[in-house]
Structure 1
Amino acid sequence: MALTLHFPAKTVTTITQFPENPKTLIVQQCKTTKDLNQVHAHLIKSRFHLNPTISENLLEAAAILIPAATMDYALSIFHKINEPDSSAYNIMIRAFTLKQSPQEAVMLYKTMLENSLEPDRFTFACTLKACSRIRALEEGEQIHAQILKSGFGCRQLVTNTLIHLYAICGRIDIARKMFDRMSNRDVFSWNSMFSGYVKTECWREIVDLFNEMRDLGVKFDEVTLINVLMACGRLADIELGGWISEYMEEKELNGNVKLMTAVVDMYAKCGHVDKARRLFEQMNIKDVVAWSAMISGYSQARRCKEALGVFHDMQMANVVPNEVTMVSVLSCCAVLGALETGKWVHLYVKKKRMELTITLGTALMDFYAKCGLIENAVEVFKKMPLKNVFFWTVLIQCLASNGQGERALETYYIMREKNIEPNDVTFIAVLSACSHVGMVDEGRELFVSMSRDFDLEPRMEHYGCMVDILGRAGLIEEAYQFIKNMPIPPNPVIWRTLLAACRAHKNVEVGEESLKNLVTLEPMHSGDYFLLSDIYASAGRCEDALRVMNQMREQGIKKTPGCSLIELDGEIYEFLAEDNMCPHFKEVYDATENMMKRIKSAGYVPNTADARLDAEEDDKEASVAHHSEKLAIAFGLIRASPGTTIRISKNLRVCTDCHNATKIISKVFNREIVVRDRTRFHHFKEGSCSCNDYW
């Protein structure tokens, strides 16, 4: 009887005589579902399908070997086998696991036991893999008991899959005990342990285990090195990471894309971004993981403009980004205030119908919030398929930082009505909301509610929020006593928060006490000296202000220069305070001069107390006029389309003069201006600010 097989290369093969043992024909020569259908039909006609061995060959081809074949087809073959044995069940269990249906694999294992069939080591290994995929710890433990009863507990294949199961289900302690008891470990045993430690983020244990592996002279492979490089990146262990990099070069493994990507990622996470970039450029093949690692590296190093540059190159290379890429790019857009690029990313996410996971959804909300588009952040929140306490907390924080404290608290109470219990981070968000809008009584009540109603012990951040709430409200003495009564020693941030409140309310005495404590804890922080200097200056004690500045110079402490960013037509422009070397220097300074003249005519009076202390009296007005955000706003006025919102990101807190000036600019030029400073957002419109002058 003749049989015609069709192969992908358009060739047609005719078999004139069907072989008595058709295993080779079925398992090796069938390449498509059509080939398999022809063979299957012939087996039925010739009644070969009644032979258990041949039917299992057919089942293996349908379930595993031919990718295009469906599991429905494989099931139809399986159900027609008269009393299938454990081998047939093994094929189906393995197939369901491979084709992302681990639940069905576990159910089939239970059916096998119900039919009184004895599982073998392959059955156990395949079913345990399925349990690992769905984190089915309870079922895995039951199978472990069956393994011990069946006498397969010492089989290496079975032990390796058990180690992987326990590790991936969070029982890394049990996994390690099993690993340590193994008399004979192969590389898969070690890798199972490494994989478990990766899943549980036990980075130090990975490094220690790898050192043990080297001491014992056990050979490692690509999977081992990738896991260890990941740990090196998280621990900033550049010494071991560098050793692996040299080992790869010595063994000529630099052509391995996965390994090279892991090395690039390791160097980037260890802060050696330039070294990572050099290796990245040497890679002949760069997949999406490699590009994402490089972008993420720049993002974590806060070199966000370079990260977006790499993303642009990635687009030019026609490499399709994934979720990791999108999250890193959105993070950079949030830092830079790069609204147009971030909007493109969101459009891409929608177009590709990417799932709004916790990570991606949070990145989108954070991006919109940090660009001052709070309604867009709310819209992302509404579209999240699952709204857990994490997302509610992010929304509350977004509202709080954008000056919508009342709305943030309303959101918190809506969350509570939905019986979603807050966590400690939620309370940081709601207390922050109270501080931004001056809700002192609400803040006190929420702080007490943490431990009283939810058994949450306040952390340093919560105490810091309370100091901020009291300090902003002018309750300086109460804030000071609150710090003195804290059950844990206050950190520099606590004292710095109080110092900032002293500047706002011109409290010299408590300000001096705050700086004394700060100098003890963190002596080289320039901002602290400037805060006290400002307090002296605002109190008319200019000599004391200059003394503080001289003390800074003597100790070699340098001030962080003011820096503001603005995005125009997808490009980021950077301005430094009193910078006469910036691009478009003449254009920017001419525009700034014109802007200052117009707002003076509208009633603006320069606050020269915010000028450099070492500036001559005649230069003080020019000094405050050339603060970085004023330069950026002036540039935006002449370059951005009429009527569009001007968005500025600043690295320092907005000074009083810039805040007053920007309010008047928004009215005179009829522009909405959004300024994001180090601590919050200011939405300026028609001569007023969203913070109600309370920042």
Structure 2
Amino acid sequence: MAAAPLTLPAYSIPIPPLSLHATDPKTLLLEHCRSQRDVRQVHARLIKTGCAAADPSAIENLLESAALVVPDALDYALAVFRRSPAHLLRSQSYNILVRAFIRSRSPDDALLLFLRMLARSVPPDPHTFSCILKACSRMNSVRHGRMVHARILKCGLGSEEFVRNSLVHMYASCGEVGLARALFDRMPHRGIVTWNAMFAGYFKAGAWGEVVELFRYMSELRVAFDDVTLISVLTACGRLGALDLGERIDEYVERNRLKSNRNLVTSLVDMYAKCGKVGRARELFDEMPYRDVVAWSAMISGYTQSDQCREALALFHEMQIAKVEPNEVTMVSVLSSCAVLGALETGKWVHSYIKRKQLHLTVNLGTALVDFYAKCGCIESATEAFAEMRTRNAWTWTVLIRGLASNGKGKDALLLFSSMLEAKFEPTDVTFVGVLSACSHAGLVKEGREFFNSMSRDFGIEPRIEHYGCLVDILGRAGLLQEAYQFIKNMPIEPNAVVWRTLLASCKIHKNVEIAEECLKQIVRLEPRHSGDYVLLSSTYASAGRWEDAVRVRNLMKEKGIEKIPGCSLIELDGIIFEFFAEDSAHPQSKEIYDEVEEMMAKIKVAGYIPNVADARLDAEDDEKEVSISHHSEKLAIAFGLINSPAGATIRLSKNLRVCTDCHVATKLISKVYGREIVVRDRNRFHHFKDGFCSCNDYW
């Protein structure tokens, strides 16, 4: 059946007479076509003068205007194409529509049109192949790319320079960097576009070492590079920690006055931050006259990755004042910093922002949200965020398993692990660290042994030192110290200081001085200047009533110049993080805080509190020991929270060391006497204190 004729309405806008010889149709079209109405009017003129039925170039010019120049006229261009006689459709007509499909993000349609072109025996030219290879890149289809490559060779166009460039780009974009490099190395002439295509391929594959090596090779050949090249190389320098090369590029940027290139300076900020030179990154950031969301995100991410989480949140607040909308990278970094600091209110703001803007909860953002809530002790919110995610990966499951384990829900963590396996997600070695930690915190010795054995037996995962450490912790916490000691002695890999330290901590709990002494002997051989180990042995002596030995160990520390890490507790109120050290007097509210502490201790004594002076400073006199333990950092932080928060509000704090026995007993009673829930995150886990009980069931 013949195609229905196009309906072309008449318009009153005057159009100069059009003829094949008197006027250039392309110039006429490009000068007069600004809307679909103009395209239709010009098309009518072409039909009236006979050009549409006789001149292929007239059709091509009309297609170019409709498909590539006039907005939203692609459908009209396709209608013209379908109704044009086959003998007037040359390769240029197909090329125009292929380009249009690529530009409109329809690469699959471009490929279908190319196949129709071949079926109609229209010979493709180099431009056709260049365009269709770009479509293969957009589709990430190396299979189709190989077929196009074969057709290129069959047509004898494999030596065309820009076709080769397109092949390099296609293979590199599709992850076949080896094939791309082979083509690249055989090219007699390589322009900057070809070099950058190769850089982009390595970049996409995360082959950072190859990016740097290619740049060194480029420099040896004295090939000129551009800002696109430098941005790829700076990113690679940041990932590799190749500070020397990054600094040389910084000097080049300074020398050639390229600081006005925002993307390039942002890459320098990112590179320095990732290489640990956060100060230099901030200098460059502050010098930028205009900073977009990418620049802010790079600097905030740099602070987060350098464990300068307070600075990250402070900069995020500056970003809000500057009214710059955060992106996913910003929010993931901010949530990570909030997780480290326990900054619940700031993290909640990020979550509300995500909801307010109806942002898609990607795997990265959703996992960061789950991790944040879990590390702030809000495990119910973490579970809800997990449930809201449409897409998860193995890391998402692992984060929640670890969160449940550290928040005293070991059995729930193991149930979630079973659900993960049912959902056909393969556990990783990190997943098993979470599973074994769950067994440790819940006192599940039998289950812990079984999971440890199943790693290699059922999942082909060879236990790493962290897994051995977890099993030592499981055995040690359960009081099976001799078994744990023999397990370490029989390990197939050399135990590190962390493994011995884990057993030493269990010795303190169970007051086993003999094995504790052996643990310290092994640790000192591996890490001789770690203060916490001496403190643990000293505390083990103290818990066993051997005060002279406890003092001797502390004196040994002084002789060796080993300083004890001071206890430090952080608490967030109204979005601000406050820091307290033991016997701290630097806070402006110090007098009120110490008055509150005195009243607090008096109240819990009435409720049955008996001070555990074994946790006091060893250099404190006997009559000072009780005062010493009442001034531990978490007690000061709790007192501050009681003063500055509404009655009944939950108090949340985090501590850099393990909660001592006295503070654990005291906090249970404070929660009961004051009717407050108190959530404490120590170095190992969360303690949720409520109504005189702790979520750890006194097993920590």
Q: Shorter-chain TM-score: what band?
A: over 0.9
Kindly indicate whether residue 186 of structure 2 is the aligned counterpart of residue 181 of structure 1: yes
- Contact 1:682–1:689, Cα closer than 8 Å, also in 2: yes
Alpha carbons of structure 1 residues 604 and 277: separation in structure 2 relative to 1, 3 Å: same
Highest CA radius of gyration, 1 or 2?
2
What is the aligned partner in structure 1 of residue 6 from structure 2?
Answer: none
CA-CA distance at 1:129 after TM superposition: 2.2
CA displacement, residues 439-491 of structure 1 (integer Å, 9 cap, x when unaligned): 11111111111222222222222222211111111111211222222222222
Match of residue 69, structure 1, among 72, 78, 82: 72
CA-CA distance at 1:140 after TM superposition: 1.7
Match of residue 195, structure 1, among 185, 194, 200: 200
CA displacement, residues 17-40 of structure 1 (integer Å, 9 cap, x when unaligned): 557323124335544445445444
What is the aligned partner in structure 2 of residue 534 from structure 1?
Answer: 539
Match of residue 260, structure 1, among 246, 255, 265: 265
Q: How large is the Cα RMSD of the aligned pairs?
A: 2.2
Kindly indicate whether residue 56 of structure 2 is the aligned counterpart of residue 52 of structure 1: yes
CA-CA distance at 1:299 after TM superposition: 1.0
What is the aligned partner in structure 1 of residue 5 from structure 2?
Answer: none
After TM superposition, the structure 1 stretch with the greater mean CA deviation from structure 2, 14-23 or 440-449, is 14-23
What is the aligned partner in structure 2 of residue 330 from structure 1?
Answer: 335
Alpha carbons of structure 1 residues 667 and 522: separation in structure 2 relative to 1, 3 Å: same
- Contact 2:269–2:299, Cα closer than 8 Å, also in 1: yes
- The letter of the residue matching 2:515 is V
Give aligned pairs, total: 686
Match of residue 223, structure 2, among 215, 218, 221: 218
TM-score w.r.t. the length of structure 2 is 0.93
Q: Whole-Å Cα distance in 2 between the matches of residues 525 and 491 of structure 1?
A: 13
What is the aligned partner in structure 1 of residue 3 from structure 2?
Answer: none
- Contact 1:434–1:440, Cα closer than 8 Å, also in 2: yes
Alpha carbons of structure 1 residues 251 and 439: separation in structure 2 relative to 1, 3 Å: same
Kindly indicate whether residue 391 of structure 2 is the aligned counterpart of residue 386 of structure 1: yes
Unaligned runs of 5+ in 2: 1-9
Q: Secondary structure at the match of 1:654?
A: coil
CA-CA distance at 1:138 after TM superposition: 1.7
Kindly indicate whether residue 146 of structure 2 is the aligned counterpart of residue 141 of structure 1: yes
Unaligned runs of 5+ in 1: 6-13
CA displacement, residues 11-65 of structure 1 (integer Å, 9 cap, x when unaligned): xxx6555573231243355444454454445445555444432322232233333
Q: Secondary structure at the match of 2:564?
A: coil
Kindly indicate whether residue 300 of structure 2 is the aligned counterpart of residue 287 of structure 1: no
- Contact 1:3–1:16, Cα closer than 8 Å, also in 2: no
CA displacement, residues 612-648 of structure 1 (integer Å, 9 cap, x when unaligned): 2222323222222122211111111111122121111
After TM superposition, the structure 1 stretch with the greater mean CA deviation from structure 2, 588-597 or 14-23, is 14-23
- Contact 2:18–2:49, Cα closer than 8 Å, also in 1: no
Q: Secondary structure at the match of 1:362?
A: helix
- The letter of the residue matching 1:548 is V
Q: Whole-Å Cα distance in 2 between the matches of residues 357 and 117 of structure 1?
A: 44
Q: Whole-Å Cα distance in 1 between the matches of residues 497 and 66 of structure 2?
A: 66
CA-CA distance at 1:123 after TM superposition: 2.2
Q: Whole-Å Cα distance in 2 between the matches of residues 310 and 36 of structure 1?
A: 52
CA-CA distance at 1:3 after TM superposition: 7.9
- Contact 2:332–2:364, Cα closer than 8 Å, also in 1: yes
Q: Secondary structure at the match of 1:675?
A: strand
Trace 1:415-430 onto structure 2 (pairs within 5 A).
Answer: 415-430=420-435
Q: Whole-Å Cα distance in 1 between the matches of residues 420 and 478 of structure 2?
A: 27
Kindly indicate whether residue 679 of structure 2 is the aligned counterpart of residue 666 of structure 1: no
After TM superposition, the structure 1 stretch with the greater mean CA deviation from structure 2, 139-148 or 416-425, is 416-425
Q: Secondary structure at the match of 1:574?
A: strand
- The letter of the residue matching 2:280 is K
Match of residue 355, structure 1, among 351, 355, 360: 360
CA-CA distance at 1:261 after TM superposition: 0.5
Kindly indicate whether residue 322 of structure 2 is the aligned counterpart of residue 298 of structure 1: no
Q: Secondary structure at the match of 1:420?
A: coil
CA-CA distance at 1:503 after TM superposition: 1.6
Alpha carbons of structure 1 residues 36 and 556: separation in structure 2 relative to 1, 3 Å: farther
What is the aligned partner in structure 2 of residue 21 from structure 1?
Answer: 24
After TM superposition, the structure 1 stretch with the greater mean CA deviation from structure 2, 525-534 or 552-561, is 552-561
- Contact 1:305–1:332, Cα closer than 8 Å, also in 2: yes
Q: Identity percentage over the alignment?
A: 61
What is the aligned partner in structure 2 of residue 82 from structure 1?
Answer: 85
After TM superposition, the structure 1 stretch with the greater mean CA deviation from structure 2, 552-561 or 668-677, is 552-561
- The letter of the residue matching 2:273 is A
Q: Secondary structure at the match of 1:641?
A: coil
CA displacement, residues 145-200 of structure 1 (integer Å, 9 cap, x when unaligned): 22222223233323333333333333322222222222221112221221122112
- Contact 1:265–1:294, Cα closer than 8 Å, also in 2: yes
Kindly indicate whether residue 71 of structure 2 is the aligned counterpart of residue 91 of structure 1: no
Trace 1:368-379 onto structure 2 (pairs within 5 A).
Answer: 368-379=373-384
Alpha carbons of structure 1 residues 17 and 548: separation in structure 2 relative to 1, 3 Å: farther
After TM superposition, the structure 1 stretch with the greater mean CA deviation from structure 2, 245-254 or 300-309, is 300-309
CA-CA distance at 1:400 after TM superposition: 1.1
- The letter of the residue matching 2:291 is K
Q: Whole-Å Cα distance in 2 between the matches of residues 36 and 399 of structure 1?
A: 64
- The letter of the residue matching 2:402 is Q
CA-CA distance at 1:668 after TM superposition: 0.5
- The letter of the residue matching 1:132 is S
- Contact 1:366–1:377, Cα closer than 8 Å, also in 2: yes
What is the aligned partner in structure 2 of residue 209 from structure 1?
Answer: 214
Q: Whole-Å Cα distance in 2 between the matches of residues 635 and 35 of structure 1?
A: 73
What is the aligned partner in structure 2 of residue 521 from structure 1?
Answer: 526
Q: Secondary structure at the match of 1:546?
A: helix
- The letter of the residue matching 1:502 is C
Q: Whole-Å Cα distance in 2 between the matches of residues 655 and 316 of structure 1?
A: 41
CA-CA distance at 1:532 after TM superposition: 1.6
Kindly indicate whether residue 308 of structure 2 is the aligned counterpart of residue 308 of structure 1: no
Q: Whole-Å Cα distance in 2 between the matches of residues 531 and 70 of structure 1?
A: 76
Q: Whole-Å Cα distance in 1 between the matches of residues 68 and 564 of structure 2?
A: 65
Q: Secondary structure at the match of 1:229?
A: helix
CA-CA distance at 1:4 after TM superposition: 8.1
Q: Secondary structure at the match of 1:573?
A: strand
